[in-house]
Amino acid sequence: MIKRMIMMLMAVGVLFGGIFGYKAFMNAMMMKYMTAGDVKPVAVSSMKIAEYPWQPLVKAVGSLRAVRGVDVASEVSGIVEEVAFKSGDMLKAGDVLVRLNAESDLALLRSLKVGVTLAQTVYDRDVKQLAVQAISQAVVDADEAQLKSRQAELAQQQAQVDKKTIHAPFDGKAGISRVNPGQYLNPGEKIVTLQALGSILVDFYIPQQEVARVAVGQKVDVLVDAYPERKFLGVVTVINPRVEDDSRNVLVEALMDNAKNELFPGMFVTAEVEAGAVNQYVTIPQSAVTFNPYGATVYFLEKKNGDSQAPGMVARQTFITTGETRGDQVAVLKGLKAGDEIVTSGQMKLKNGSPVVVNNEVVPANDAAPQPVDQ
């Protein structure tokens, strides 16, 4: 039994010795290959970096809203007798939009006017008779009450007649008409949308941690998909004094000029608030950064063995601290300095100390404000 155990241990030792010997041989051959200088350089693109002015921004998405906008509706029911506007008209406050048939209401109004006239005549006669003690004060009071009651009924009916004519509540542009002559209109039924477009509001939400960077009066650049090559300028007018419970965001309102009526309520927009003073940051293309769970890294280039006279370059990996992004660029807060030459593409084939050859025939985008290009 002991003899077999010894033989088994010897066999295991030979096996492990062979494995370790093979690994040592392979490592030695690899080192020999590396030191022999046979590693082919990796083709990469590169650029020398510099400091550029950087305007801190708070970015958010939002939508446009008219300073004044309403869906005009009728307060009373009736048959449409006249539509006094056309779809798309520019209207003034007080312009007639729709007239409803009011014949029965006008007839009742005329009847009430007659009643008021009679009650007024009776009251005036009572006042004269009271002056000569021909009637009592009680009769005068009763007839005065009757007069006021008739006047109130007349005012009520006049208001009912007035509601049969629907006016524009403010200056604005009419939308598409929803009614036609002869149509029966129910109370609250939409007639047309009316929007004041001379100025327009931008509503957008920002995270609560960004509130301290935004203040009333700050400039806002607004980007609209309908005009991809333009920026519209606005100004922050109101910051809502309440944080939304569900999102922990704060609603911000900005005002923009819209004299050409190019923007419409409901449009989706991107808002960029200029928050704080302009800083100077080293900027690099976002494609140059490798993001890992343990940090962001880039490769910079240096001469082999640190000898400025030696031919060839090698890539060295370094950790960096990144800041805000804009377009294709990212700001570098720590880890690089102006004048460093970094690898902008091809870094996936590199490791620390890899020899490289620079080929900048094709370089990644590095635009602070890229624009879509039609192909």
Question: Which pLDDT tens digit goes with each residue over 32-62?
Answer: 655 545 568 889 999 999 999 988 888 899 9
Alpha carbons 301 and 355: distance in angstroms, whole number: 9
Question: What gap in Å lies between CA 37 and CA 50, rounded to an integer?
Answer: 33
Q: Determine the average pLDDT of the residues in 132-147.
A: 91
- 254 touches 235 (CB < 8 A): yes
The residue with tokens 């009736």 is 78
Q: Are the C-beta atoms of 28 and 251 separated by less than 8 Å?
A: no
Does the structure show a pLDDT above 90 at 250? Answer: yes
| Residue carrying structure tokens 């524009």 | 168
Mean pLDDT of the region 204-220:
91
For 226-368, list the strands marked E by DSSP.
232-243, 249-257, 268-274, 279-285, 290-292, 295-303, 313-326, 329-334, 341-345, 355-358
Would the pLDDT of 238 be above 90? yes
**Share above pLDDT 70 across residues of the chain, in percent, rounded to a whole number:** 94
With a pLDDT cut of 90, the percent of the chain lying above it is: 61
Residue 117: pLDDT above 90? Answer: yes
Q: What is the mean pLDDT of residues 104-112?
A: 94
Segment 75-98 shows an average pLDDT of: 94
Confidence class for position 82, pLDDT limits 50, 70, 90: very high
Q: Which of 186, 181, 172 is nearest to 83 (CA)?
A: 181
Distance CA(166)–CA(84), nearest Å, equals: 10
Return the higher-pLDDT residue of 333 and 6.
Answer: 333
- Indicate the pairing of strand 232-243 with strand 219-224: antiparallel
Residue 183: band (very low, low, confident or very high) from pLDDT cuts 50, 70, 90: very high
Looking at the predicted structure, is the pLDDT value of residue 180 above 90? yes
Can you say whether the dihedral through the CA atoms of 252, 253, 257, 263 is positive or negative?
Answer: positive
Mean pLDDT of the chain: 88
pLDDT at residue 372, as a whole number:
60
| Separation CA 194–CA 67 (nearest Å) | 11
How many Cα atoms occupy the beta-carbon half-sphere of 93 within 13 Å? Answer: 6
Q: Which residues pair with 273 in a beta bridge?
A: 58, 220
Q: Provide the pLDDT for residue 374.
A: 54
Q: What is the mean pLDDT of residues 202-210?
A: 93
Q: Decide: helix, strand or coil at residue 122.
A: helix
What pLDDT was estimated at residue 294? 84
Per-residue pLDDT tens over the stretch 268-288: 999 999 887 888 899 999 989
* Chain centroid offset of residue 306 CA: 50
Q: What is the pTM of this model?
A: 0.65
Q: Which residue has the tokens 């509601």?
A: 163
pLDDT (average), residues 94-115: 94
Examine the pLDDT at 352 and tell me if it is beyond 70: yes
Cβ atoms 285, 44 nearer than 8 A? no
A 10 A CB-CB count for 234 gives 24
288-319 pLDDT tens trace:
999 888 889 999 998 876 554 446 788 999 99
Would you state the pLDDT for residue 310?
Answer: 46
Question: Are 351 and 314 within 8 A, CB to CB?
Answer: no
